[in-house]
Amino acid sequence: MQKQAKSKPTHVAQNKQTTDDELVTFAFSRQNYRLLIIGVILITLGFIFMIGGGTDDPNIFNYKIFNFQRLTLAPILILAGFIVEIFAIMKRSK
């Protein structure tokens, strides 16, 4: 039988000081995350505004499903939320 050569463990921490060039940089800045949260809030509000307008009795038709809130405002909020999300992802931090 052959003896295997011992290798150094790769998980040993090295005493190394970090310089300004080696600092960790994230892909998104704080402003990107704020815009992402605003976009999620707009999308959620749009879906909340679409809720309702139904009736308990299937023989009665409720015309509240055709109001401004559900047909116009909610889709505009959802579309605006997706546009804000795209902008937040594409925006470069300085």
Which of 93, 79, 89, 94 shows the shortest CA–CA distance to 35?
Answer: 89
The pTM assigned to this predicted structure is 0.69
Structure confidence by residue, pLDDT tens digits, 37-85: 999 999 999 999 999 877 788 888 888 888 999 999 999 999 999 999 9
pLDDT at 2 over 60: yes
Q: Which residues contact 39 (CB under 8 A, 6 or more apart)?
A: 81, 82, 83, 84, 85, 88
